Amino acid sequence: MANKTAALDFLRLAAAGHVDEAYAKFVSPRLVHHNAYFAGDVDTLKAAMRDSARQNPAAHLDVKRAVEENDVVAVHSHMRLQPDTPGIAVVHLMRFENGRIVEWWDIGQQLPADSPNHNGVF
């Protein structure tokens, strides 16, 4: 459960704009990430997260569920960059070594203002 706690703490700190603190506490300098929109190195992703935090100071992350299996944690969340917007459904997958995130995947789905699905996305 320690990795799950670390993943949740990392995401909450980063979403609250404390990107440098989140990286210092929870991310390995050897991080490999698989986000299709950024170069695969740790510095590029960190800079993009800092930029997002500056541009979206009211961002809010609502974690819906988190699962830990061996060295991998999956976190399903509702991310709103701006209040009063539908936001994004996000799944983060993080692989840990020695309590640090060493590999990371993220998948996002933009939420429509009106969905025909009466079950909701969460």
Calpha distance 56→79 (Å, rounded): 11
For residue 108 the two structure tokens come to: 């996002």
User: CA 98 to CA 71: how far, in whole Å?
Assistant: 9
Average pLDDT, the chain: 95
φ, ψ (nearest 5 deg) of residue 14: -65, -45
Give 88-105 pLDDT, tens digit per residue: 999 999 999 999 999 999
pLDDT score at 1? 84
Beta bridge partners of 12: none
Q: What is the pLDDT of residue 90?
A: 97
| Residues contacting residue 71 through CB under 8 Å, at least 6 positions apart | 3, 95, 96, 97
Tell me, which fold does domain 2-110 have in CATH? Nuclear Transport Factor 2; Chain: A, (3.10.450)
Domain ranges of the chain: 2-110
pLDDT tens digit string along 43-78?
999 999 999 999 999 999 999 999 999 999 999 999
